[in-house]
Structure 1
Amino acid sequence: MLRIRGRIGDWPVDLTVEMDAEDWDQLARRISPEAVAQVPAAPRTPGAPRSDALWETAQQVLREAGQMEGPRLLAELEGLAGGVAAGKRLLVRLRHNEQVHVEVREDAPLYIWKG
Protein backbone atom coordinates (compact mmCIF):
# COMPACT_ATOMS: atom_id res chain seq x y z
CA MET A 1 0.00 0.00 0.00
CA LEU A 2 1.18 3.50 -0.86
CA ARG A 3 -0.14 6.53 1.05
CA ILE A 4 0.13 10.06 -0.30
CA ARG A 5 -0.68 12.94 2.03
CA GLY A 6 -0.44 16.65 1.49
CA ARG A 7 -2.35 19.60 0.11
CA ILE A 8 -3.49 20.87 -3.24
CA GLY A 9 -4.15 24.54 -2.62
CA ASP A 10 -6.57 24.69 0.31
CA TRP A 11 -7.70 21.08 -0.11
CA PRO A 12 -6.19 18.33 2.06
CA VAL A 13 -5.19 15.20 0.16
CA ASP A 14 -5.01 11.76 1.72
CA LEU A 15 -4.76 9.10 -0.98
CA THR A 16 -4.21 5.39 -0.45
CA VAL A 17 -3.16 3.24 -3.40
CA GLU A 18 -3.17 -0.52 -2.95
CA MET A 19 -0.49 -2.30 -4.95
CA ASP A 20 0.28 -6.00 -5.12
CA ALA A 21 3.77 -7.48 -5.63
CA GLU A 22 3.44 -7.38 -9.43
CA ASP A 23 2.59 -3.65 -9.32
CA TRP A 24 5.65 -2.91 -7.14
CA ASP A 25 7.89 -4.91 -9.47
CA GLN A 26 6.59 -3.03 -12.49
CA LEU A 27 7.14 0.31 -10.73
CA ALA A 28 10.68 -0.69 -9.71
CA ARG A 29 11.55 -1.57 -13.30
CA ARG A 30 10.47 1.91 -14.48
CA ILE A 31 12.41 3.91 -11.88
CA SER A 32 16.15 4.16 -12.27
CA PRO A 33 18.41 4.24 -9.19
CA GLU A 34 19.75 7.61 -10.38
CA ALA A 35 16.25 9.11 -10.34
CA VAL A 36 15.64 7.84 -6.82
CA ALA A 37 18.95 9.28 -5.62
CA GLN A 38 17.97 12.73 -6.92
CA VAL A 39 14.74 12.91 -4.91
CA PRO A 40 15.42 14.93 -1.76
CA ALA A 41 14.28 13.36 1.48
CA ALA A 42 11.48 15.20 3.25
CA PRO A 43 12.82 17.06 6.26
CA ARG A 44 11.68 15.47 9.50
CA THR A 45 12.13 17.21 12.79
CA PRO A 46 11.18 15.09 15.79
CA GLY A 47 8.39 16.70 17.75
CA ALA A 48 7.77 19.39 15.16
CA PRO A 49 4.10 20.24 14.73
CA ARG A 50 2.74 18.70 11.56
CA SER A 51 0.27 20.29 9.24
CA ASP A 52 -3.07 19.34 10.67
CA ALA A 53 -5.31 19.83 7.66
CA LEU A 54 -7.11 16.57 8.43
CA TRP A 55 -8.05 17.83 11.91
CA GLU A 56 -9.27 21.12 10.45
CA THR A 57 -11.39 19.24 7.92
CA ALA A 58 -12.82 16.96 10.64
CA GLN A 59 -13.91 20.02 12.62
CA GLN A 60 -15.39 21.54 9.48
CA VAL A 61 -17.51 18.41 8.89
CA LEU A 62 -19.18 18.79 12.28
CA ARG A 63 -19.30 22.60 12.10
CA GLU A 64 -21.17 22.51 8.78
CA ALA A 65 -23.56 19.81 9.97
CA GLY A 66 -24.20 21.58 13.27
CA GLN A 67 -24.84 18.26 14.97
CA MET A 68 -24.38 14.63 14.08
CA GLU A 69 -24.95 11.27 15.75
CA GLY A 70 -21.79 9.43 16.75
CA PRO A 71 -21.99 6.46 14.34
CA ARG A 72 -22.65 8.71 11.34
CA LEU A 73 -19.88 11.12 12.36
CA LEU A 74 -17.47 8.22 12.85
CA ALA A 75 -18.29 6.90 9.37
CA GLU A 76 -17.62 10.36 7.89
CA LEU A 77 -14.32 10.64 9.76
CA GLU A 78 -13.22 7.13 8.76
CA GLY A 79 -13.78 8.03 5.11
CA LEU A 80 -11.97 11.31 5.55
CA ALA A 81 -9.02 9.80 7.39
CA GLY A 82 -8.75 6.68 5.27
CA GLY A 83 -9.22 4.11 8.02
CA VAL A 84 -11.05 3.06 11.15
CA ALA A 85 -8.26 3.81 13.64
CA ALA A 86 -7.57 7.28 12.23
CA GLY A 87 -11.30 8.03 12.20
CA LYS A 88 -11.60 7.01 15.85
CA ARG A 89 -8.65 9.25 16.79
CA LEU A 90 -10.39 12.21 15.15
CA LEU A 91 -13.64 11.37 16.96
CA VAL A 92 -11.82 11.32 20.31
CA ARG A 93 -10.21 14.68 19.51
CA LEU A 94 -13.64 16.11 18.69
CA ARG A 95 -15.07 14.70 21.93
CA HIS A 96 -12.42 16.63 23.89
CA ASN A 97 -12.69 19.82 21.83
CA GLU A 98 -14.06 22.76 23.81
CA GLN A 99 -16.23 23.78 20.84
CA VAL A 100 -18.01 20.41 20.80
CA HIS A 101 -20.71 19.29 23.19
CA VAL A 102 -21.48 15.58 23.39
CA GLU A 103 -25.01 14.79 24.44
CA VAL A 104 -25.35 11.25 25.78
CA ARG A 105 -28.41 9.55 24.36
CA GLU A 106 -29.89 6.10 24.69
CA ASP A 107 -29.10 4.99 21.15
CA ALA A 108 -25.99 6.98 20.23
CA PRO A 109 -24.16 10.09 21.41
CA LEU A 110 -25.00 13.33 19.63
CA TYR A 111 -22.06 15.58 18.74
CA ILE A 112 -23.05 19.25 18.66
CA TRP A 113 -20.85 22.08 17.39
CA LYS A 114 -21.06 24.96 19.90
CA GLY A 115 -18.55 27.31 18.22
Structure 2
Amino acid sequence: MKKKFFVYDISKGFSSFIKHYYAEKMEIHICTKKKNLTNYKMSSYDLCFFSVNDIEDFMFLRNTDFENDFFFINAPNKIINEKISNMNYNNAVLFEFDSNKKVILDKINFSLKLLNT
Protein backbone atom coordinates (compact mmCIF):
# COMPACT_ATOMS: atom_id res chain seq x y z
CA MET A 1 0.00 0.00 0.00
CA LYS A 2 1.34 3.41 -0.98
CA LYS A 3 1.96 6.05 1.66
CA LYS A 4 -0.30 9.08 1.48
CA PHE A 5 1.08 12.60 1.14
CA PHE A 6 -0.92 15.78 1.56
CA VAL A 7 0.29 18.98 -0.08
CA TYR A 8 -1.21 22.42 0.52
CA ASP A 9 0.11 24.92 -1.99
CA ILE A 10 -1.98 27.69 -3.54
CA SER A 11 0.88 28.79 -5.79
CA LYS A 12 1.01 25.25 -7.25
CA GLY A 13 4.79 25.37 -7.77
CA PHE A 14 5.78 23.35 -4.71
CA SER A 15 2.99 20.83 -5.22
CA SER A 16 4.13 20.30 -8.82
CA PHE A 17 7.66 19.74 -7.54
CA ILE A 18 6.48 17.13 -5.01
CA LYS A 19 4.26 15.44 -7.57
CA HIS A 20 7.10 15.30 -10.10
CA TYR A 21 9.50 13.54 -7.72
CA TYR A 22 7.16 11.36 -5.66
CA ALA A 23 3.99 10.57 -7.62
CA GLU A 24 5.13 7.09 -8.58
CA LYS A 25 6.06 6.15 -5.01
CA MET A 26 3.30 7.86 -3.04
CA GLU A 27 -0.38 8.66 -3.22
CA ILE A 28 -0.47 12.46 -3.30
CA HIS A 29 -3.48 14.64 -2.50
CA ILE A 30 -3.08 18.30 -3.37
CA CYS A 31 -5.10 21.23 -2.09
CA THR A 32 -4.64 24.46 -4.05
CA LYS A 33 -7.58 26.46 -2.69
CA LYS A 34 -7.81 27.96 0.80
CA LYS A 35 -11.54 27.34 1.00
CA ASN A 36 -10.98 23.59 0.50
CA LEU A 37 -8.27 23.22 3.14
CA THR A 38 -10.67 22.38 5.95
CA ASN A 39 -12.01 19.44 3.90
CA TYR A 40 -8.80 17.49 4.57
CA LYS A 41 -8.01 15.66 7.78
CA MET A 42 -4.25 16.02 8.25
CA SER A 43 -4.01 13.02 10.56
CA SER A 44 -5.14 10.68 7.77
CA TYR A 45 -1.90 11.32 5.86
CA ASP A 46 1.52 9.84 6.42
CA LEU A 47 3.23 13.08 5.52
CA CYS A 48 2.08 16.67 5.01
CA PHE A 49 3.64 19.51 3.05
CA PHE A 50 2.34 22.94 3.85
CA SER A 51 3.17 26.14 1.97
CA VAL A 52 2.51 29.20 4.10
CA ASN A 53 1.91 32.06 1.69
CA ASP A 54 0.25 34.64 3.91
CA ILE A 55 -1.00 35.34 7.43
CA GLU A 56 -4.22 33.38 6.84
CA ASP A 57 -2.18 30.26 6.02
CA PHE A 58 0.00 30.94 9.06
CA MET A 59 -3.04 31.11 11.33
CA PHE A 60 -4.39 27.85 9.91
CA LEU A 61 -1.01 26.21 10.48
CA ARG A 62 -0.82 27.55 14.02
CA ASN A 63 -4.29 26.20 14.85
CA THR A 64 -3.82 22.78 13.25
CA ASP A 65 -2.75 19.81 15.31
CA PHE A 66 -0.42 17.80 13.11
CA GLU A 67 -0.35 14.25 14.43
CA ASN A 68 2.05 13.12 11.73
CA ASP A 69 5.58 12.01 12.57
CA PHE A 70 6.87 14.75 10.30
CA PHE A 71 5.42 17.56 8.35
CA PHE A 72 7.15 19.95 6.02
CA ILE A 73 6.66 23.69 5.86
CA ASN A 74 7.87 26.25 3.38
CA ALA A 75 7.20 29.95 3.49
CA PRO A 76 8.28 32.43 0.81
CA ASN A 77 7.88 35.35 3.20
CA LYS A 78 10.92 35.72 5.51
CA ILE A 79 8.86 37.29 8.32
CA ILE A 80 6.35 34.42 8.29
CA ASN A 81 9.23 31.96 8.01
CA GLU A 82 10.75 33.43 11.17
CA LYS A 83 7.40 33.25 13.01
CA ILE A 84 7.07 29.59 12.08
CA SER A 85 10.62 28.91 13.19
CA ASN A 86 9.84 30.50 16.58
CA MET A 87 6.92 28.10 17.07
CA ASN A 88 9.47 25.33 17.76
CA TYR A 89 7.59 22.44 16.20
CA ASN A 90 9.25 19.18 17.23
CA ASN A 91 8.10 17.28 14.19
CA ALA A 92 8.40 19.90 11.45
CA VAL A 93 11.00 20.38 8.78
CA LEU A 94 11.12 24.01 7.72
CA PHE A 95 12.45 24.73 4.22
CA GLU A 96 14.21 27.92 3.41
CA PHE A 97 12.30 29.25 0.43
CA ASP A 98 15.47 29.96 -1.51
CA SER A 99 16.85 26.44 -1.01
CA ASN A 100 17.74 24.63 -4.18
CA LYS A 101 15.96 21.44 -5.27
CA LYS A 102 18.79 19.18 -4.11
CA VAL A 103 18.68 20.55 -0.55
CA ILE A 104 14.90 20.15 -0.41
CA LEU A 105 14.99 16.63 -1.84
CA ASP A 106 17.78 15.63 0.56
CA LYS A 107 15.72 16.84 3.55
CA ILE A 108 12.60 15.04 2.34
CA ASN A 109 14.44 11.82 1.52
CA PHE A 110 16.26 11.83 4.86
CA SER A 111 12.93 12.21 6.67
CA LEU A 112 11.37 9.46 4.57
CA LYS A 113 14.21 7.12 5.55
CA LEU A 114 13.59 7.92 9.21
CA LEU A 115 9.94 7.00 8.69
CA ASN A 116 10.80 3.86 6.71
CA THR A 117 8.78 5.17 3.79
TM-score above 0.5, yes or no: no
- Say which structure, 1 or 2, has more relative contact order (CA 8 Å, 6+ apart): 2
Larger Rg: 1
What TM-score results when the alignment is normalised by the length of structure 1? 0.24
